[in-house]
Amino acid sequence: MNEFEFKLKTITPLCMRGAKQTPEWRGASVRGMLRWWFRRACWYEEDMRDREKELFGSTERFGSTENASLFRIRCWDGGDNQILNAKAYLKNQYGIKYIAYPIGRDIHQLMHGNLNLKLIFPRGCEEYEKQALYTLWLTLNLGCFGSRSRKGFGSLKVVGCKEKPEESRFKNVVFRTPENADKYIRWLKSILHGAESELTNSGKMGFDVYLFYGSWNELCEKYRDFRRYKIKKRERLLFG
């Protein structure tokens, strides 16, 4: 087996729950987000559905091992996570509160702290490993996890990674985010180019990336003003 293990830290609180409706870092939810970003990256590819089935599995023949996912996911928390009271967290953060519903009303707890994620592949699947790693990179750097992920909850960053056996198969998929803004932009462009080459035949994923300089709360306030038509047309491009 080839294993890729990641130590993660929450940038924004994670809203993910288990069967008992308590905060839980869940492999099924992670797999769902990876699958969504794989579809988004390969949206214009004619063989997208077939490649998705090969990598993530399908339910076409329920119970058949032929349709099982190519890799396994293990998730566990760092043991020192904070469980935040949602109402207390949202207090005086009016921008975040605007986009948070139903957090603070129907969802009362958020998770904040350290998390662990491991991807496990059978040997001889190097090409699929690359696709899964680039998909994970897209999910971590362009997306979020859990409920309200499209509004910024559940943003994570990689603080450590290792693989077994140690053969440097990460190659160009560099997960540690540069702290310097200029280096970050160059790093982002470089890995995006690698993802386009690895995940698509056309070399283009068909979406644009915009960078916003400011806090999450400020961005949410901008979004609120956009919804209320309080910002100029030329400034609305960030939200479509």
Phi first, then psi, for residue 93 (nearest 5°) are -105, 80
Distance CA 22, CA 187 (A): 37
Residue 227 lies in a domain: no
User: Does some domain include residue 214?
Assistant: no
Tell whether 51 is covered by a domain: yes
Amino acid 58: pLDDT = 79
Strands of the chain, DSSP E: 2-10, 72-77, 82-85, 109-112, 114-121, 156-164
pLDDT, tens digit, 9 for 90 and up, residues 87-105: 999 999 999 999 998 898 8
Q: Is residue 178 part of a domain?
A: yes
DSSP reduced 3-state for 103:
strand
| pLDDT at residue 118 is higher than 80 | yes
Q: Does some domain include residue 218?
A: no
CATH number at residue 193: 3.30.70.1900
Quote the domain boundaries for residue 154: 2-209
* Predicted pLDDT at 166: 61
Q: Please indicate, yes or no, if residue 188 is contained in any of the structural domains.
A: yes
In the chain, what percentage of residues exceed pLDDT 70?
90
Residue range 158-213, pLDDT digits in tens: 988 887 766 656 655 678 788 888 888 888 888 888 888 888 887 788 788 888 88
How many other β-carbons are positioned within 10 Å of the β-carbon of residue 53?
Answer: 15
The whole-angstrom separation of Cα 157 and Cα 141 is: 8
Residue 30 covered by a domain: yes
Residue 219, in any domain of the structure: no
Query: How many structural domains comprise the chain?
Result: 1
